[in-house]
């Protein structure tokens, strides 16, 4: 499920075949609202927050891995203009369809939240414009991290595993932008323990010094909030991870409060091999002799960490004065009852 393409490999989206779609009129939106399931609304809200997901990712986190059921429902949501889609041209192989929020979906979520759709300033061309963005591969990498973690929890319902928070870069920026702008924020609950982290996703397309330059911002945030939050960094290759760890260690030697910034690293290849960020892929910066840790086992590498508080609860008030949609719950709302739940289509 992890994005394996480089940005230079992605070209303009493949041209769409002619397809019948409804006009996004008020009458159409009222009719569609009566046919949307809780899963449809959850999916629209996830895309409003995280911008783009592939059909493969959607099948894994919302349809118990059933590509056929996912594609059947996604086709309807596309025809109803709840979602829009594009398919990048990758030169070799065939990229999965990529889905974004469309006009009808945005308007229905706004009404659901008691907002005037005009206040959202939603534009369909900007939503699907991510198809041409130079940050598409970076965004897909970050989203693949969290959707794979979600799929891990969903495919093991008998275990005590849950994603309890998943924040987008935009939401992190609104909350922490005065200090630092992480690529994401998450929480993972397993076997009665919980760990939180900021995520930095490296595509290998920029100098490592740019990554290291963000560390003072994380240290400043820890000092201001008095909350120590680990930083997880995913690098494009193992060679790049080795070089980055050397630079990170060198920087931290001059940092007065090193314990305020626990760091663990891994690579995209390790994540693809093991299949989940919850697996034993994480290498703490100052404990290489213990080998790679599972995500929840990083707590043993950093015993000074406190249990995550409610200060970063996704249900909290958004500091932005612009009207915004409620964030989605991280895990699908039906997963606790029945993983195979399937509403009428």
Percent of the chain with pLDDT over 70: 84
pLDDT above 50 (res 197): yes
User: What Rg value do the Cα atoms of the chain yield, rounded?
Assistant: 20
138-147 confidence digits (pLDDT tens): 999 999 999 9
Residue boundaries of the structural domains of the chain: 7-134, 159-311
Residue 230's SS3 state is: coil
Q: Which CATH class is domain 7-134?
A: mainly alpha
> 127 and 99 in contact (C-beta within 8 Å)?
no
pLDDT above 70 (res 82): yes
Average pLDDT over every residue of 166-171:
96
Distance CA 119, CA 273 (A): 44
Distance CA 73, CA 338 (A): 19
pTM for the structure as a whole: 0.88
Q: What is the pLDDT of residue 90?
A: 75
> 276 and 234 in contact (C-beta within 8 Å)?
no
Q: What is the pLDDT of residue 31?
A: 81
Q: What is the pLDDT of residue 246?
A: 94
Q: What is the pLDDT of residue 257?
A: 80
- Report helix angle 67-79 to 55-62, nearest 10: 110
pLDDT above 90 (res 81): yes
1-59 confidence digits (pLDDT tens): 655 556 555 555 655 655 666 566 777 777 889 999 999 999 999 999 999 999 999 99
For 254-265, the DSSP string reads: T-S-GGG--EEE
208-253 confidence digits (pLDDT tens): 998 999 999 999 999 999 999 999 999 999 999 999 999 999 998 8
Q: What is the pLDDT of residue 3?
A: 54
Mean pLDDT of the chain: 86
Q: What is the pLDDT of residue 309?
A: 61
Measured from the Cβ of residue 209, the count of other Cβ atoms closer than 10 Å reads: 10
pLDDT-based confidence at residue 304 (cuts at 50, 70, 90): confident
Q: What is the pLDDT of residue 2?
A: 59
Higher pLDDT, 287 or 305: 305
Residue among 337, 312, 82 at smallest CA distance from 186: 312
Per residue, the 3-state secondary structure of 158-199, as one string, reads CCCEEEEEEECHHHHHHHHCCCCCCCEEEEEEECCEEEEEEE
Average pLDDT over every residue of 280-295:
88
Q: What is the pLDDT of residue 168?
A: 96
pLDDT-based confidence at residue 337 (cuts at 50, 70, 90): very low
């Amino acid at each position: 499920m992890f994005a394996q393409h480089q940005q230079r490999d992605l070209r303009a989206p493949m041209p769409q075949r002619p397809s019948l779609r409804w006009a996004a009129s008020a009458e159409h939106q009222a009719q569609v609202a009566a046919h949307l399931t809780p899963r449809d609304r959850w999916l629209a809200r996830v895309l409003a927050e995280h911008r783009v997901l592939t059909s493969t990712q959607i099948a894994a986190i919302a349809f118990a891995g059933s590509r056929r059921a996912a594609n059947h429902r996604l086709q309807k949501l596309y025809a109803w203009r709840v979602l829009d889609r594009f398919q990048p041209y990758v030169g070799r192989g065939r990229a999965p369809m990529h889905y974004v929020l469309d006009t009808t979906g945005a308007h229905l979520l706004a009404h659901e939240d008691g907002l005037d759709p005009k206040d959202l300033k939603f534009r369909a061309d900007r939503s699907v414009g991510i198809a041409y963005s130079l940050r598409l591969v970076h965004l897909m990498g970050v989203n693949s991290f969290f959707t794979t973690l979600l799929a891990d929890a969903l495919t093991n319902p008998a275990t005590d595993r849950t994603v309890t928070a998943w924040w987008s870069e935009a939401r992190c920026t609104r909350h922490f932008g005065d200090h630092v702008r992480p690529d994401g924020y998450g929480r993972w609950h397993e076997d009665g323990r919980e760990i939180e982290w900021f995520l930095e996703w490296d595509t290998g397309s920029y100098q490592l010094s740019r990554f290291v330059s963000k560390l003072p911002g994380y240290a400043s945030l820890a000092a201001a909030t008095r909350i120590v939050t680990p930083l997880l960094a995913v690098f494009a290759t193992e060679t790049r991870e080795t070089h980055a760890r050397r630079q990170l260690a060198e920087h931290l030697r001059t940092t007065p409060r090193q314990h305020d910034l626990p760091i663990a690293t891994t690579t995209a290849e390790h994540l693809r091999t093991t299949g989940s960020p919850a697996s034993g892929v994480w290498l703490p910066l100052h404990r290489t002799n213990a080998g790679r840790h599972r995500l929840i086992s990083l707590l043993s590498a950093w015993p000074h960490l406190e249990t995550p508080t409610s200060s970063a609860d996704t249900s909290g008030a958004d500091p932005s004065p612009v009207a915004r949609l409620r964030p989605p719950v991280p895990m699908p709302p039906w997963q606790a009852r029945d993983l195979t739940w399937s509403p009428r289509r």
